[in-house]
């Protein structure tokens, strides 16, 4: 009885502590005084064009949605939500329905809700009021189906922190971005040129409805960004001043409390900075909770730098006497020279390999232009043009990209890839023309004459085989997990779809090992070791399998 009383007592104290810690956050609402809360009226012109006043959403022939919106924070949020309501609901459906699949128990869902409230207790303190108001506006168009997670506004706020958690978990193959910048003698016209692949993968459906947004805020600079339904943070974008922002994940601990999401820091830089010094000042004043490299390109400064942020450190990587800068998923500034996590990433991961490959290709191409940049961003090979298999994270093009983007800041031009990945046509946009166009002129915003053609790989048998490989990988993964039986012919055919990729042999080895067919498993694991394996931990894991097999002989 005494033990039960003690448990109840300490449980009560713990609950009171958590309640005190989260009470303000779960009841917080943004300051909306002075803003009109009237919901916008949306006119549907067709299945691909919707408008509200001078604002509109249109789908181009490359199947990119183009969003043109202006106003104060709440007006922007309400208008974005009203125009893109199906996409906002779809993204939350994709995310939270998966959670329901993983956690079907109502009791465990309530526990998750409590944990999210506690974990995100400081999120509202660290997101500027302006962006809270914008998120609030969008949240009015989200579904009630997921109120078990949190009310609409809190749920939408939490999702901006969840994106950073995905970056922190890059070891789970959620993200492995690559970016590069060249200028001066390295480009055909001397102008700054930047390219990046945003390899944040959350399933194929996540990338189906890309939005190229053009925002004219009531304060700050007009800007464009590539985004998805419900997201106000920035992962890739350029403003009217010719300042660009892209983000690349670094090695992070799983954070214990959410603070300022990186995408919100990037948004603030994009909206309020006109040059590199202003971008640095904004980044320094925000407390982040994951590690990230923010590449900032500037038309004013005619170069790019890396702002490297983490919860307990800050670095600036500014190349001297050079006209190119490359970035993958590790830090390069002096501030992180002795950082153990960063050194581990360089030594055991795929980040340095991709960085070396970018440098290798840039050294081979003189007088860079947007077309040559697209060629590098689409490259699937390894160092010295080695065939490393399609989907290998050591490749610049891992065939998982949500989007790929190219900037010419001094010309205010942007190219955004269309599906699939970065293989579709890159659509060109001229920010000078877009932000000076007539109101109520509901037209597609791209400049088709400047588009970069789709990759020829898209029409190849190798590409068709890669898509089949992705589908058949699900079958073999299920067979491994559930001890199902597959024909050996299926295994062989599966491997022939992507024969240079180590993973097809690794999966076969795991399958045969589970079936206690150790000779067959050994042969497959040895084939895997002969290929370009993505990380050192992957190689060690395969070697452990082989040791187990040899002990059984």
Instruction: Indicate whether 527 pLDDT > 70.
Output: yes
At 250, is the pLDDT very low, low, confident or very high (cuts 50, 70, 90)? confident
- Predicted confidence (pLDDT) per residue in 392-410, tens digit: 999 999 999 999 999 999 9
Q: What is the pLDDT of residue 188?
A: 97
The model carries a pTM of 0.93
Section 279-284 average pLDDT: 98
Helix (H, G, I), strand (E, B) or coil at 217: strand
Q: What is the pLDDT of residue 163?
A: 67
Q: What is the pLDDT of residue 57?
A: 98
Q: What is the pLDDT of residue 167?
A: 58
Which stretches does DSSP call E strand in 183-328?
193-198, 211-217, 223-227, 236-239, 243-249, 292-298, 303-310, 313-317, 324-327
- Predicted confidence (pLDDT) per residue in 315-325, tens digit: 999 999 999 99
Quickly count: other Cβ atoms within 10 Å of residue 481's Cβ: 10
Instruction: Indicate whether 21 pLDDT > 70.
Output: no
Instruction: Indicate whether 258 pLDDT > 80.
Output: yes
At 375, is the pLDDT very low, low, confident or very high (cuts 50, 70, 90)? very high
Q: What is the pLDDT of residue 210?
A: 96
Q: What is the pLDDT of residue 168?
A: 56
Counting residues of the chain whose pLDDT is more than 90, the rounded percentage is 78
Q: Which of 204-208, 369-373, 376-380, 512-516 is predicted with the least confidence, judged by mean pLDDT?
A: 204-208
Instruction: Indicate whether 15 pLDDT > 70.
Output: no
Average pLDDT value for the chain: 91
- Predicted confidence (pLDDT) per residue in 407-454, tens digit: 999 999 999 999 999 999 999 999 999 999 988 899 999 999 999 999
Q: Is the omega angle on the peptide bond into residue 420 within 30 degrees of 0, that is, cis? A: yes
Q: If DSSP states are collapsed to H, E and C, what string results for 492-526?
A: HHHHHHCCCCHHHHHHHHHHHHHCCCHHHHHHHHH
Section 366-385 average pLDDT: 97
Cα separation, 61 vs 192, whole angstroms: 29
Q: Which of 79-83, 199-203, 219-223 is predicted with the least confidence, judged by mean pLDDT?
A: 199-203
Q: What is the pLDDT of residue 18?
A: 47
Ordered structural domains, the chain, with CATH: 2-167 (no CATH), 462-552 (1.25.40)
Cα separation, 166 vs 178, whole angstroms: 16
């Amino acid at each position: 009885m005494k033990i039960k009383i003690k448990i109840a007592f300490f449980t009560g104290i713990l609950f009171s502590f958590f309640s005190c810690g989260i009470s303000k956050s779960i009841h917080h609402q943004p300051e909306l005084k002075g803003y009109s809360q009237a919901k916008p009226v949306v006119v549907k012109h067709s299945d691909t064009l919707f408008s509200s006043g001078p604002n509109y959403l249109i789908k181009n022939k490359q199947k990119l949605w183009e969003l043109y919106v202006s106003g104060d924070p709440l007006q922007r949020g309400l208008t974005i939500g009203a125009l893109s309501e199906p996409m906002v609901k779809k993204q939350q459906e994709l995310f939270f329905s998966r959670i329901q699949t993983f956690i079907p128990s109502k009791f465990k869902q309530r526990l998750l809700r409590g944990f999210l409230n506690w974990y995100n207790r400081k999120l509202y303190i660290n997101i500027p009021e302006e962006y809270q108001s914008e998120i609030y506006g969008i949240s009015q168009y989200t579904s009630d189906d997921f109120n078990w997670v949190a009310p609409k506004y809190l749920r939408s706020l939490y999702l901006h922190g969840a994106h950073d958690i995905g970056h922190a978990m890059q070891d789970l193959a959620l993200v492995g971005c690559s970016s590069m910048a060249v200028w001066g003698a390295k480009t055909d016209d001397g102008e700054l040129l930047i390219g990046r692949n945003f390899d944040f993968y959350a399933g194929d459906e996540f990338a189906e409805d890309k939005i190229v947004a053009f925002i004219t805020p009531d304060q700050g600079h007009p800007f464009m960004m590539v985004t998805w339904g419900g997201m106000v943070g920035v992962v890739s974008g350029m403003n009217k001043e010719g300042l660009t922002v892209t983000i690349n994940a670094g090695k992070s601990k799983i954070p214990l409390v959410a603070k300022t999401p990186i995408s919100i820091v990037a948004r603030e830089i994009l909206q309020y900075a006109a040059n590199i010094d202003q971008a640095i000042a904004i980044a320094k004043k925000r407390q982040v909770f994951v590690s990230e490299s923010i590449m900032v390109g500037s038309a004013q400064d005619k170069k790019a730098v890396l702002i490297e942020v983490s919860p307990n450190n800050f670095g600036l990587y500014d190349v001297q006497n050079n006209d190119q800068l490359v970035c993958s998923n590790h830090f390069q500034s002096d501030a992180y020279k002795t950082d153990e996590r960063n050194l581990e990433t360089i030594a055991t991961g795929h980040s340095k390999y991709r960085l070396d490959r970018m440098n290798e290709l840039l050294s081979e191409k003189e007088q860079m232009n947007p077309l040559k940049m697209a060629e590098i961003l689409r490259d699937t090979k390894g160092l010295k043009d080695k065939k490393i298999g399609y989907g290998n994270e050591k490749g610049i093009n891992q065939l998982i990209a949500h989007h790929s983007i190219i900037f010419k800041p001094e010309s205010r031009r942007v190219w955004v890839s269309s599906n699939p990945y970065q293989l579709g046509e890159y659509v060109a946009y001229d920010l000078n023309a877009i932000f000076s166009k007539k109101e109520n002129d509901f037209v597609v915003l791209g400049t088709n004459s400047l588009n970069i053609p789709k990759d020829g790989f898209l029409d190849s048998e190798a590409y068709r085989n890669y898509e089949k490989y992705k589908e058949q990988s699900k079958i073999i993964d299920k067979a491994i997990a559930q001890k199902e039986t597959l024909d050996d012919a299926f295994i062989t055919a599966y491997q022939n779809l992507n024969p240079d990729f180590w993973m097809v042999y690794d999966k076969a080895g795991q399958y045969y090992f589970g079936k206690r067919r150790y000779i067959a498993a050994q042969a497959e694991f040895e084939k895997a070791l002969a290929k370009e394996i993505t990380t050192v931990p992957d190689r060690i894991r395969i070697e452990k399998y082989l040791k187990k097999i040899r002990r059984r002989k």
